[in-house]
Structure 1
Amino acid sequence: MQVSTCLERSGSIKQDILNAKGKLRNIHFLIFACSYDQIEEYTAEIKKEFSDVKFIGTTGIGFLDKESYQKGIGFIGFGEGIKVETGLIRNLSTCPLSSIMELDRAVRNVNPSRDNTICLEYCTGHEERLVSTMNVVLEKQQIPLVGGTTGNTPENKNKVVVCDGEVVEDAAVFAVIKNVNGKIAVIKENIFSPRKTQYTATKVDEKNRKVIELNNRKASEVCAEALGIRENQIADHALTNPLCRTVGKENYICAIKNVNSDGSLSTYKIIQKNDIVQIMDIDENVKAHVLETIREQRNKGRKIEAIVSVNCILRYLYFEQTAFTKEYAGILADVAPHFGIVGDGEQFINQHVNQTMVCAVFTN
């Protein structure tokens, strides 16, 4: 499989894309990430210079090989050995199901096989609705979904994604990718451990993503008591003590966004009534988790040829707070060419999650 990466930060958008064109040769498919204020100009130049190449793009902080970046543009390009179809799920806020035939067409054109095909997506929000919609097609073909919510969008602007030269709001861009001569695995990495005590979400507001009561008590009161802090200190523990929704043996992290005056907790992921909820603690040795994730993939006996990842913004902020970001980027880059984004949420198979790293691992 042919894979190329490059990070361009010349200060000139035109020059960045010309530089990338010189490095990304014989490419059939591109993924890029750049800042919000530059995405339209970059998209126009990519469409002009890579006119016969399919591409998808998103905004936010990026990881490219051994560093993270917030200015300029990062690329990963795939050439020989990849079959890909791109498209859009539109109208996420109203009726994403209206675009389902575009995803179905893409899947049929790729002709997927088990263990060598994934669907990668970047979206602008309404994640639970998106995941449910896409899996109408993907589950039937046993194609795993992996992706993220666009990041670093200014407060007064609407999130956007890019598909083959079109910059779109209220949408998800997807790429159904088949590794013709190899495999693709999707994995999620959790650096937290749940506490033993389980709570039932007895009162929620799903529409506004609020947990109002746990075990028939104010949610903020329950969390503060468990953490041994005051209710107005819960937000200070957002990076280290999220909630999780427990489904069987799986824990899906649910980050706390705000503590409200009525004692409810606003979250970045929907918790439904009667869900089992636990409080989590961040593990002391985060680096060990990262190394274990890599070890597990290497032990499968296949050469890792590329990694495409999504890290939650709250994970990134914790890495920044603990001076781990640069080392983290270096660890992944030493394994294989790595392209990643820092998103406002992550999607993994049939769940929307928070404070997690999800990724696609391409092997021979």
Structure 2
Amino acid sequence: MGNSAILRIELNEELIEPVYGLHKKLYGLYKELELRCTAIRLCSVLLLILILRLLTCKVYLIMVAYHRNIVWNNQAERIKTYLGGKMEYRIGRSKKNQGKEAVKEAVEGLKNPKLILFFSETDNFTEYTIEMKRLFPESIIIGSTTFVGLCREGAYKDTLLVLGIEEGIECYGDVLEEVDKYPLKYIDRVMNCVNRFKNTENTVCFEVSSALISSEELILSTFNSVLMDKGIPLFGGSAGDRGNAEKTMISFNGKVMEKACAFVVLKNLGGGIRLYRENIYKPTNHYFTATKVDIRNRTVYEYDYEPAAQVMAKALNTDIKNLPQYLDSYPLGRLIGSDMYITANQGITDHGGMAYHARVYNNSHMVLLEPDDYKEVLRRTREQVKKDVPNPSLTIMIHCLARSLLFEKDGYLNDFAKEMGGTLGNYVGFAGYGEQLNQQHFNQTMVLAVFE
């Protein structure tokens, strides 16, 4: 019996041992699987954390793009960032006599500008226009003749002055033709440019027009029938010449024109655009109401039902014979609400009328102006601009030819240009026969467009 019991136990141990070994193997596999599952779970958690971080970064980048004006190119593969509102541009000039050589020197360093503005005397203007188009066939190129070119280094006559902007703006341009008669025929060109923008925030329209053909008011009416609805301000000027009122020219994309207006609608991708208007004349105590006018020919025949020239001579304490010597220094101001726009005298007409360089409308309220302390006025203007825009990216200046002649006579023109550069930094300016801002055409004024 005892032997039999012992035998059974030994048999059971022999059976259990392989089972136990199998159990150990299975348990080992279980532990290994458990460790792998733990590793997989850990990897899953890490992957989830990584995805959340990437999503957070993407949201952050989108926020930065909104606040820093990152422009996403819908056609693909690149992102351009304009931090701090800085543009990429170059300002160049040349006094060389040969057109091609002058252009080559003035545009040195420009590679692929989106927009080119250039200003020069009338003599070589056509050659400059053709050569500029040959060198930069894909750019928007707008040119104007001028009395003088202005930049931070000084005032330059008989010089080609060029501004080329390569980055920092979005822009579309075109031209209005037949501006002395029917500029409204070309209104679709303005609409086509405006409609290409996704939005018109920080957008302006800059234009240069042929002068000496009394077309500016017709041009402004055409522009503003489109721009006002879109909330796009306008600034610009009439072309100039050597000061003899003989011939002015403008050009657009390689074509010279004498009865046209070239324009560009441009958006500052790095910030806002501030517009300023400065006059260096102050009101006297002599106020008039225009009671008989020829609007189209810019002539006033009567102020307060009296012959216009007679009224002016009386206000200046002189007679009609000696009145012409006062006309350059004593323009009129056209009053619209709290604003005053300078209207320059052109001369005395037959039948005692007064001709002007801007329209005066029937029942317009006018005031005789006299010279102010222009250096003090300029100091206040520079102070205001510096306060508003401490570090401008770029400024475009329109400076009336009459003001330029006055400063030149006083030996101040070059100093004026340099002093403005101290506030504006890099800028370009030209001098012609009129200035425009929004709905108004006026004279003897400086207009600034300061890009933040």
**TM-score band (shorter)?**
over 0.9
* 1:317 equivalent in structure 2: 405
Change (3 A) 1:357 1:109: same
Secondary structure, aligned partner of 2:150: strand
* 2:22 equivalent in structure 1: none
Q: How does 1:94-105 map to 2 (within 5 A)?
A: 94-105=181-192
How many residues are paired up?
Answer: 361
1:56 and 1:163 in contact (8 A); partners too? yes
Which one is further off, 34-43 or 15-24?
Answer: 15-24
Question: Quick one: which amino acid aligns to residue 134 of structure 2?
Answer: K
Shift of 1:153: 7.1
* 1:355 equivalent in structure 2: 444
* 1:334 equivalent in structure 2: 422
**CA offsets 1:231-279 (integer angstroms, 9 cap, x no match):** 2333222232101110101111111111234221111011111111110
Distance 1:331 1:203 in 2: 43
Secondary structure, aligned partner of 1:36: coil
Secondary structure, aligned partner of 1:232: coil
* 1:306 equivalent in structure 2: 394
Q: RCO greater where, 1 or 2, for CA within 8 Å and sep 6 or more?
A: 1
2:286 and 2:315 in contact (8 A); partners too? no
* 1:175 equivalent in structure 2: 264
Q: How does 1:180-191 map to 2 (within 5 A)?
A: 180-191=269-280
Distance 1:303 1:104 in 2: 33
* 2:90 equivalent in structure 1: 4
Question: Quick one: which amino acid aligns to residue 283 of structure 2?
Answer: P
Distance 1:341 1:13 in 2: 19
Unaligned regions of 5+ residues in structure 2, if any? 1-86
Q: How does 1:197-346 map to 2 (within 5 A)?
A: 197-283=286-372, 285-335=373-423, 336-346=425-435
Question: Quick one: which amino acid aligns to residue 360 of structure 1?
Answer: A
Distance 2:282 2:243 in 1: 33
Of structures 1 and 2, the larger Rg is shown by 2
Shift of 1:77: 1.6
2:119 and 2:162 in contact (8 A); partners too? yes
Question: Percentage identity across aligned positions?
Answer: 29
Distance 1:223 1:111 in 2: 51
Change (3 A) 1:235 1:305: farther
1:235 and 1:256 in contact (8 A); partners too? no
**CA offsets 1:179-221 (integer angstroms, 9 cap, x no match):** 0111111111111111233211011111221111111111111
Shift of 1:155: 7.1
Shift of 1:94: 1.9
Distance 1:60 1:186 in 2: 21
1:195 corresponds to 2:195: no
Distance 1:110 1:169 in 2: 29
Shift of 1:320: 1.5
**CA offsets 1:145-169 (integer angstroms, 9 cap, x no match):** 1111111179796543111111123
* 1:136 equivalent in structure 2: 225
Unaligned regions of 5+ residues in structure 1, if any? none
Greater share of helix: 2
TM-score between the two structures when normalised by the length of structure 2:
0.77
**CA offsets 1:55-79 (integer angstroms, 9 cap, x no match):** 1000012213322223131011212
TM-score between the two structures when normalised by the length of structure 1:
0.94
The match for 1:79 among 166, 178, 200 is: 166
Distance 1:182 1:156 in 2: 38
Secondary structure, aligned partner of 2:285: coil
Secondary structure, aligned partner of 2:171: strand
* 1:30 equivalent in structure 2: 116
1:309 and 1:360 in contact (8 A); partners too? yes
2:106 and 2:161 in contact (8 A); partners too? no
* 2:69 equivalent in structure 1: none
2:113 and 2:164 in contact (8 A); partners too? yes
Shift of 1:3: 2.6
Secondary structure, aligned partner of 2:286: coil
* 1:54 equivalent in structure 2: 140
Shift of 1:24: 2.8
1:106 corresponds to 2:193: yes
